[in-house]
Chains A and B, each alone.
Chain A
Amino acid sequence: MKMVYVDNNATTQVASEVFEEMSPYLTRYYGNPSSMYTFAGQVGDKLREAAAKVADLLGAAPEEIVFTSCGTESDNTAIHAALRSNPDKRHIVTTRVEHPAVKSLCEDLSKRGYRVSFVPVDHKGRLDLDYLYDHLTDDTAVVSIMWANNESGVIFPIPEIAKKIRDRGIVFHTDAVQAVGKVPIDLSSVPVDMLALSGHKLHAPKGVGVLYIRKGTKFSPFLIGGHQERGRRGGTENVASIVALGKACELAGQHIEEENTRVARLRDRLESELLARIDKASVNGDVKNRLPNTTSIGFDAVEGEAVLLLMDQIGICASSGSACTSGSLEPSHVLRAMGVPFTSAHGSIRFSLSRYNTEEQIDHIIEHLPPIIDRLRKMSPFWKQSQAG
């Protein structure tokens, strides 16, 4: 059975060029980059090269790049660092639709004496900017707002927000894990103080990430140890994965055009064909301001887990914002924050493409998903009611 992988916001396949680039650093070049001899020195050079490639993609300087173990670590590090450099301030501003890497941390901090404002979104997943600006106070230590949402794909106006926050003199962090490689990012003109990205969302392996720290930003490390990463993160570097991430960023720069043309067209065709063939289906999120690879579609009167498992039978890998897949009982916090009605929230499926998807794969989904939805709806006590409504 052929597999159709359209869950690239969950993780991506490692690009073959990336694997080739990294594999010698798992085998031949095992020296510790901190050591003094040439054998290790060449490894250190390669790390600097990787940092330069990451910096290039972001419009940053190599010294502003700190490698971490994942996107989650980058997010945690950024927020903790901002709080530590502002010990008198006890207020955090973030959004209601952040990834758990930020959301759960902020919820935890709210139990430890911090006040957290969660900025709401509207029914299309767009941020309530007035709410955001109204809630900035002299007590605000950090603002953390994602660049693009992993579930809806909605992109937030980070360039505008960053300028406003800078003018208020507040530290601004953005979780750009889903945005990097999919939308152009130029930190030379967007004044964010810290930015998180994760390797496995852009065709590098899992378990490597980056925290960008703008020159001049007050910082204290999260992992305290050796002098690696210029004292900003202790721990011997994950050399092979860092090399991989460097290569992946180089490739991302080359393919960003394709992401926004060919991949976007594939996504658009998938979306419009599904909407045309399936009654009572609707897109979640602002279609005008969205990642080029993502579509989240709610199908009335069916439940997402059942859809995913039936799709799995025919090799389609996607994900769902439904409760049942996550083990929680309620639909995803993102769909709830958007006020997606229950009729379609439980039956919301996210398709996230990559440059490895083909026209044939999209055809496969377009052909096989409608009968699955139909089959489940025939089984559903709500279908008649939903049709009538």
Chain B
Amino acid sequence: MWEYTDKVKDHFLNPRNVGIIENADGVGEVGSLACGDALTLYFKLDDDGRIDDVKFQTFGCASAIASSSALTEMLKGLTLDEARKISNDDIAEFLGGLPKEKMHCSVMGREALEAAIANFEGTPVEETEGEVVCECFGVTDIQIERVVRENHLTTIADVTDYVKAGGGCEKCHDQIQEIIDSVMEKEPVPKKKQTRLTNIQKIKLIEETLEREIRPALEKDGGNIELVDVDGNAVYVQLRGTCASCRLSEVTLSEYVQAKLRELVAPELVVEEVHP
């Protein structure tokens, strides 16, 4: 039996926003009966261009239904530009995680969302272009390339978990491996997979990074740095020693401290100096 989180079970047993929207602004249909799951997503915008109403119909297993339901909850009130940023990982995370073999359900959510936005904008969906690699599940090279890149996948089994490609007759395994290889060549897998940190994890990691990476470098020049507070993505620090009086302190902060923290902790961080 699958290990589903309580949130997955809740969204499966009590799915939110099931249905159709007559004269929706955008409709996205993905999946097929043959593949074993399919999702149709509808949205309607309000006068400010925010998603006012959103509904779905899903054929599929518990995690497909839960992913669809979760997506509709996430979408309410967003502008399309905000909606566009939702990744499959965000959907999985909203549900407290999905079994690895079921990640394709979250990818289906993201694909339906993109299809619905494209339908609204009247643009073709990029992924349906491409060239079909997996005949069994009709998956294109562009789709595979994208999940590999975005989710840092490294094996064929991963790809099958995320977009099903390779899960049927297995004839396309060599081609999938080639795509993985070419993505890895272009963008080596980061040492640590970027996942969203909890606040405490973030603060800890900032402290560690200051201690291990940043302070020793500043000390070489007779300076020092002190962490004062962390509030959301704002990191408040005090510069000491030569740094504090150095006219280049602002450059130090943005060019060096902030850059290091963004690289090693989270790309959204903003470092600000507080004066004693």
Contact = CB atoms under 8 A, between A and B. Distances in A.
- Between A302, A328, A343, A346, the greatest number of chain B beta carbons within 10 A of the residue's beta carbon is seen for A346
B40 A303 contact: no
Interface stretch (A156-164, A239-247, A250-258, A373-381): A373-381
B60 A306 contact: yes
Interface residues of A, number: 26
A330 interface: yes
A340 to B, nearest CB: 12
A342 B34 contact: yes
Given A301-B59, A330-B168, A379 B33 contact: no
B29 A329 contact: no
Contacts of B39: 381
A17 to B, nearest CB: 30
A18 to B, nearest CB: 26
A174 interface: no
A136 interface: no
B interface, how many residues as a size bin?
20 to 34
B18 A378 contact: yes
Interface in A50-73: none
A149 B38 CA distance: 30
A315 B224 CA distance: 65
Contact of A379 (B58, B167, B168): B58
A324 B36 contact: yes
B13 A313 contact: yes
Contact of A303 (B2, B64, B101, B168): B64
A338 B264 CA distance: 55
Contact of B61 (A305, A381, A382): A305
Contacts of B101: 327
B259 interface: no
19 contacts: A303-B64, A306-B12, A306-B61, A324-B36, A324-B60, A324-B61, A329-B35, A329-B36, A329-B160, A329-B164, A329-B168, A342-B36, A378-B18, A379-B18, A379-B59, A380-B58, A380-B59, A381-B58, A382-B33
Chain A to chain B: the 10 pairs with minimum beta-carbon distance, closest first: A329-B167, A324-B61, A305-B61, A381-B57, A380-B59, A381-B40, A342-B34, A346-B36, A342-B33, A323-B36
